[in-house]
Amino acid sequence: MLSFLVAILAGSSAVADSRPSSLPGLFEAACLDGQAKLGAGEVTQIGFDQLPANLQKQLGQPTSGKVWQLNSGGHSYLYLLSYNDARGVSPKVCGLASDAMDFKAAGDTLEMRMTGSVSPSRTRSAQWLNTKDGYVATATTADAFKVLQISWMSTVDREAAQTQAQLLAN
C-alpha cells in the first residue's frame, strides 16, 4: 500500500506508465494490488472533512487517513482510512466512491477478482470474505455514490474467520 501512496503523491512522469484506465481498475490497483499510479494532475489530496457529508457518515470516524478527489467526470474519491484495531472494527479501509461509476460493471469487476466468475443473480450490494488475506471486499451504494471497498479485519477477527473457515472445510 505504501508504494501506492508514494506513487500518487510523487506526481512524477515516471508513474505514468501503468495508469488504470477505469475507476474499477483504479480501485483494484490501489486497494487490492497497492500499485495505483497517477500523476499529480489526476488527483487532488483533500481532507476527510471535505468529502460529501453523506459519504463521511457512511465511513464513520477514522482515526487518520488520506483522501483524494479524482480530477475526472462526476465526483469520485479514493480513500485510505485507519480506525482503532478492535474486535468488529476494520483497522484499515481502502475504497473508491463515485457518482459517475457504472455500478454493475464495477461490481462485476470486483466479483471476478474475488471469485473468478460473475454470477448473473448477484444482488445489487455484495460482500466477499477473504479469510486468507484477512479482508472483506464490498460493492455497494451510499446515496448517489457507488462504492467499492476493502475492509481489512482486525487481528482477532481475522483469526476467528480463519478458524471458522477451517472448521467448515473439514
Question: Hey, where are the domains in the chain?
Answer: 2-169
Count CB-CB contacts under 10 A for residue 116: 7
Kindly state the helix (H) or strand (E) to which residue 106 belongs, with its residue range: helix 103-115
User: Residue 107 is placed in which grid cell?
Assistant: 461490481
Q: What is the mean pLDDT of each run of 10 residues along the chain (170 residues)?
A: 39 39 89 85 93 94 95 91 86 95 91 90 85 93 93 88 84
Q: What pLDDT score was predicted for residue 148?
A: 96
Backbone phi, then psi, for 92, in 5-degree steps?
A: -140, 140
pLDDT of the residue at 149: 96
pLDDT attached to residue 20: 60
Q: What is the pTM of this model?
A: 0.83
pLDDT value of residue 73: 77
Q: What is the pLDDT of residue 31?
A: 95
> Side by side, which strands form the sheet with 135-142?
43-46, 64-70, 76-82, 92-98, 145-152, 135-142, 126-130
